[in-house]
């Protein structure tokens, strides 16, 4: 089936990770001849200079500005190198804005179908990247988090389902990938709230869209933990997990639900999340 991922958004922060993210976005856009936007936000050197009153502001601004320009040049070179090998029919553009990436990137991403960004985890789950959390909280888009290079379009996908709004948004964001997959398995994350779709209902809906979908059982319906989700994904050879980004009733970017924290802080597979 043809992908409808027509617009992908890739934050450009650091050369190595940006190269992997941009290459992945080009790969995902390829089947449908989509468009990939690379977005680089240039921090204000005055914020760095003002962070310590003992520093010489002019000296810090000059040094920071020089490093910032060099980083932007390297990222731009990476963009140009990779775009030259883009699949036929895929278009690209390079955008630069002045300001904090965690503020600007979520806004800039809102016209896209999917955000693609690296996620190599964190030892302390409460100190995750501001940019990752901001994209999940404020872009209104699905966010594909990659712990390593994406070698191929995902063929076996696991949906971690609990009938929540977040899970529904994640499935909607992943729909083009689900349609391209060879098989999609739906794993229950526990009791579904009243009137929300059960895993069987979601599976039937996916099948009506021509998706090869099936229920995946882990022995009971009490709900799977993060480790069980990862184990189930490993057992079936999944190369992508789709799930909601769950938090407390009132979203706070520094406080996430335990499963979401685990998936962000200790990534083993690509995860597509939505909040």
**Res 2 pLDDT > 50:** no
Instruction: Tell me if domain 7-118 and domain 156-274 are identical in fold.
Output: yes
pLDDT of residue 258: 65
Name the superfamily (CATH) of residues 156-274. HUPs (3.40.50.620)
pLDDT of 85 > 50? The answer is: yes
How far apart are the C-alpha atoms of 186 and 200, rounded to whole Å?
8
Q: How far apart are CA 114 and CA 184, in angstroms?
A: 19
Distance CA 25, CA 115 (A): 9
What is the DSSP secondary-structure string of 206-245? Answer: HHHTT--EEEE--S-SS---HHHHHHHHHHHT-SEEEEE-
Determine the CATH number of domain 7-118.
3.40.50.620
50 confidence band (pLDDT: 50, 70, 90): low
Give the model confidence (pLDDT) of 218-238 as tens digits: 655 445 577 888 889 999 999
Taking 60 as the threshold, does the pLDDT of residue 73 lie above it? yes
Model pLDDT for residues 171-218, shown as the tens digit of each residue = 999 999 999 999 999 998 877 888 999 999 999 999 999 999 999 976
Domain-wise residue ranges, the chain: 7-118, 156-274
pLDDT at 48: 54
* CA–CA separation, 81 and 61 (whole Å): 30
Burial environment of residue 72 by CB neighbours within 10 A (0 to 12, 13 to 18, 19 or more): middle
Please write the tens of the pLDDT for every residue from 13-27: 989 999 999 999 999
- Rounded CA gap, 186 and 171, in Å? 11
Q: What global pTM score does this model have?
A: 0.88
What gap in Å lies between CA 168 and CA 191, rounded to an integer? 15
């Amino acid at each position: 089936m043809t992908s409808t991922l027509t617009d992908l958004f890739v934050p450009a922060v650091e050369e190595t990770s940006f190269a992997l993210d941009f290459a992945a976005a080009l790969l995902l856009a390829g089947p449908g001849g989509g468009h990939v936007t690379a977005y680089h936000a240039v921090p204000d050197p005055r914020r760095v200079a003002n962070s310590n009153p003992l520093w010489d502001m002019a000296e810090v601004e000059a040094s920071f500005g020089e490093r910032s320009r060099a980083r932007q040049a390297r990222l731009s070179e990476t963009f140009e190198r990779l775009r030259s090998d883009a699949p036929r029919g895929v278009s690209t553009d390079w955008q630069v804005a002045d300001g904090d990436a965690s503020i600007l990137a979520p806004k800039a991403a809102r016209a896209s179908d999917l955000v693609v960004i690296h996620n190599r985890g964190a030892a302390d789950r409460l100190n995750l990247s501001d940019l990752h959390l901001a994209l999940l909280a404020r872009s209104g888009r699905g966010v594909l988090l990659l712990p390593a290079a994406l070698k191929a379009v995902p063929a076996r996908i696991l949906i971690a389902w609990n009938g929540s709004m977040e899970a529904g948004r994640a499935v909607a964001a992943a729909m083009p990938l689900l349609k391209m997959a060879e098989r999609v398995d739906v794993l229950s994350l526990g009791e579904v709230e009243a009137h929300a779709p059960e895993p069987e209902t979601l599976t039937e809906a996916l099948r009506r869209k021509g998706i090869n979908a099936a229920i995946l059982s882990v022995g009971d319906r009490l709900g799977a933990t993060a480790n069980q989700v990862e184990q189930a994904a490993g057992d079936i050879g999944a190369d992508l997990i789709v799930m909601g980004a769950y938090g407390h009733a009132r979203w706070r970017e520094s406080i996430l639900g335990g499963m979401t924290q685990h998936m962000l802080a200790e990534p083993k597979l690509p995860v597509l999340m939505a909040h």
